[in-house]
């Protein structure tokens, strides 16, 4: 390995957590992971927002990480979601993920507390110092209500095992700014499927993708085209995927993507409250987008 980008790049699926009867469906999850890998997905993120981590209790959270690590069996990296707005709890989850065999941790900026930039720096430094796992910062101001500045990220990039960012700010200039501030080896992964083409053009190396849950081959081919500099091929795939990217966020995620996965036969469409079942109008739009992308005929 010559750098972390050799491992953490390409199409990385932000995995849904299948439920059945209110409980985690571990059999469906294991089958889903195996299908993802066979379909070309380059990495897996269990227990992110798409995996409904806010509604998983700790036993469920750790059991999902364990199930994904086991099913992946070292074939692709597993980046476990271990973030919390409680620093001590984030440290605990990260250490547990390390003991379960995760390859890295995805740590969201603390939500609701709204820490200062110094608070963000101290939070991530404390987590990094408590583990040997590589840490990916997850910067998503739309959900956490706090935005990590480029300057703070550059400070954190000096810590050996803080190796990159999942950037869901939607501000494409950030990619260049962060690359210049944090260095070429700092892994930058998009957190938005729709802007991943521009993100990669600015120097990003992949996407932690919601759409990859239902279009893993197309998303993997898209990322491979970007990383190979085949921008016309990437643009054609972007055009094919864009209606799906849009509809999967027509209601709060992961409602639409779970329904899409159910249409493809991978799981039940079940989410946990406070997420309500998606409307029939949205269901029809999801089915139409799946058909348009060539993923199903009905």
Residues annotated as catalytic (active site), given as ranges: 138, 166
Q: How far apart are CA 286 and CA 214, in angstroms?
A: 11
Q: Are 262 and 269 in contact (CB under 8 A)?
A: yes
Measure the CA angle with vertex 45, ends 43 and 47; round to 5°.
Answer: 165
Q: How far apart are CA 260 and CA 94, in angstroms?
A: 30
Residue 261 makes CB contacts below 8 A (sequence gap 6+) with 16, 18, 32, 213, 214, 267, 269
Mapped to the 3 state alphabet, what secondary structure does 43-78 carry? EEECCCCCCCHHHCCHHHHHHHHHHHHHHHCCCCCE
Q: Are 124 and 100 in contact (CB under 8 A)?
A: no
Query: Of 62, 153, 139, 150, which Cα lies nearest the Cα of 108?
Result: 139
């Amino acid at each position: 390995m010559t750098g972390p980008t050799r491992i953490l790049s390409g199409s990385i699926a932000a995995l849904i957590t299948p439920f059945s009867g209110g409980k985690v469906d571990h059999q469906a999850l294991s089958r889903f992971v195996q299908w993802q890998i066979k379909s070309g997905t380059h990495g897996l993120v269990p227990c992110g927002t798409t995996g409904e981590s806010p509604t998983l209790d700790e036993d469920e959270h750790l059991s999902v990480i364990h199930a994904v690590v086991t099913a992946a069996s070292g074939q692709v990296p597993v980046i476990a979601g271990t973030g919390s707005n409680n620093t001590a709890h984030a440290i605990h989850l990260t250490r547990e993920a390390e003991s379960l065999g995760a390859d890295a941790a995805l740590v969201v900026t603390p939500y609701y507390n709204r820490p200062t930039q110094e608070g963000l720096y101290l939070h991530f430094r404390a987590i990094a110092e408590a583990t040997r796992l590589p840490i990916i910062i997850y910067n998503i101001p739309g959900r956490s209500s706090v935005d990590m500045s480029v300057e703070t990220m550059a400070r954190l990039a000096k810590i050996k095992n803080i190796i990159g960012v999942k950037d869901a700010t939607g501000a494409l200039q950030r990619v260049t700014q962060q690359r210049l501030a944090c260095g070429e080896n700092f892994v930058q992964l998009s957190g938005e499927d729709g802007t991943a083409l521009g993100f990669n053009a600015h120097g990003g190396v992949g996407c932690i993708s919601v759409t990859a849950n239902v279009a893993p081959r197309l998303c993997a081919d898209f990322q491979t085209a970007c990383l190979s500099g085949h921008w016309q091929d990437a643009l054609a795939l972007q055009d094919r995927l864009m209606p799906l990217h849009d509809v999967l966020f027509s209601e709060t995620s992961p409602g639409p993507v779970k329904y899409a996965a159910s249409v493809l036969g991978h799981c039940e469409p079940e989410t946990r409250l406070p997420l309500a079942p998606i409307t029939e109008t949205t269901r029809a739009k999801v089915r139409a987008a799946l058909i348009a992308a060539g993923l199903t005929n009905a």
